[in-house]
Amino acid sequence: MRAVVVNEWGGPEVLAETEIERPEPGLNEILVRVHAAGVNPVDWKTRATGGLITWGETPIVGWDVSGTVEAVGPGVTLYRAGDEVYGMPHFPRQAGGYAEYVVGPARHFARKPAALDHVGAAALPLAALTAWQALVDTAGVSAGQRVLVHAAAGGVGHLAVQIAKARGAYVIGTASAGKHELLRELGADEVIDYRSTDFEDVVTDVDVVLDGLGGEHGQRSLKVLKPGGHLVTLPSPDDVPAVGTQDVHTGWTLVEPDYRGLVEIAALVDGGKLRPVIDTVLPLERAAEAHEIGERGRTTGKIVLTVA
């Protein structure tokens, strides 16, 4: 099968298309013919250094995939050959998403949202599960709460805005002015231009802050939280601020494979409450270019590679 491998850690130029042996499903696993693969910041960050990922003998980046079940291993009852699925297998271990075929545990996938094609579905798993697990499982966002989403037009952010809104929250997002119209279309009740306004000067009494930026944003976000509020940090555990005597909950969350979460996300999509914004679509052989675009930090929504 075709795959884009990492021959050595470094810049986008280290990504190389090659032919490798197709994997076979084992116990409780499925083999998926990949139609599209999502591109996420973790892809280029691990490509650069290897990061904390547990790599296979041949390093292949990529976790988000959408495709068709090619074969099922012993013990699998959820799917049969021909079913359309999407998922984020194995994370934080190697999944090998930049390839024609991926193998993984059956419950690391779910049925693809019917309302999306494979490109749209491939944009969802890692980013949408990150938002879901942070907002719903960790912070317990509920109707009537106030939620602040930093980098609200980014890959995770634009999905977090919609998930929080679907939960009945009042949603505030930070983004550059050119992205405000999109965020309002996605359901944001209030949008702040971080280039001209310090969010802590205009936002108060927030129940949940989702910080996808890190650095000073965590400490500044503490100022807007109400007692008992949640600050969920995404970039690194080093970005979680010290709270002192303040009565708030803080912590770092790392996304993990989640069948139930994928099912809930698909239901939101098919119910018209969640849609991925696609910034760029490129073929698999242009994965290096996709990384170059992503590393500029100017994308709105997601980058996706077409495979099949």
Q: What string of DSSP letters covers 157-190?
A: HHHHHHHHHHTT-EEEEEE-GGGHHHHHHTT-SE
Q: Is the pLDDT of residue 90 over 90?
A: yes
Q: Please write the tens of the pLDDT for every residue from 7-35.
A: 999 999 999 999 999 999 999 999 999 99
Q: Please write the tens of the pLDDT for every residue from 159-177.
A: 999 999 999 999 999 999 9
**Cβ atoms 274, 262 nearer than 8 A:** no
Structural domains in the chain plus CATH codes? 2-124+276-306 (3.90.180.10), 127-252 (3.40.50.720)
| 41-49 vs 287-295: helix crossing angle, rounded to 10 | 100
Q: For position 21, what pLDDT does the model report?
A: 97
Q: For position 245, what pLDDT does the model report?
A: 86
Q: Strands 206-211, 146-149: parallel, antiparallel or unpaired by DSSP?
A: parallel
Q: For position 52, what pLDDT does the model report?
A: 87
Q: What sections of the chain are H helices per DSSP?
A: 41-49, 118-122, 125-132, 157-166, 180-185, 199-202, 216-221, 259-270, 287-295
**Cβ atoms 38, 64 nearer than 8 A:** yes
Q: Is the pLDDT of residue 308 over 90?
A: no
**Residue from 201, 218, 54, 224 nearest 151 by CA:** 218
Looking at the chain, the whole-number percentage of residues with pLDDT higher than 90 is 98
Q: How confident is the model at residue 184 (pLDDT cuts 50, 70, 90)?
A: very high
Q: For position 154, what pLDDT does the model report?
A: 96
Q: Is the pLDDT of residue 36 over 90?
A: yes
Query: 104 is written with which tokens?
Result: 């993984």
In single-letter form, the type of residue at position 132 comes to W
Radius of gyration, alpha carbons of the chain: 19
Mean pLDDT of 81-109: 98
**Residue from 78, 71, 81 nearest 102 by CA:** 71
Distances (CA, A) of 15 to 19, 25, 291: 13, 26, 9
Q: Please write the tens of the pLDDT for every residue from 281-297.
A: 999 999 999 999 999 99
Strand ranges for 54-108 from DSSP E: 65-72, 84-87, 101-105
Contacts made by residues 213-217, CB under 8 angstroms, sequence distance 24+: 213/150, 213/151, 214/238, 214/239, 215/239, 217/150
Q: Please write the tens of the pLDDT for every residue from 108-146.
A: 999 999 999 999 999 999 999 999 999 999 999 999 999
Distances (CA, A) of 68 to 3, 18, 87, 126, 214: 17, 22, 11, 18, 37
Whole-number Å distance between alpha carbons of 149 and 140: 15
Q: For position 118, what pLDDT does the model report?
A: 98
Mean of all residue pLDDT scores within the chain: 97
Q: For position 194, what pLDDT does the model report?
A: 96
In single-letter form, the type of residue at position 219 comes to Q
CB atoms within 10 A of CB 202: 11
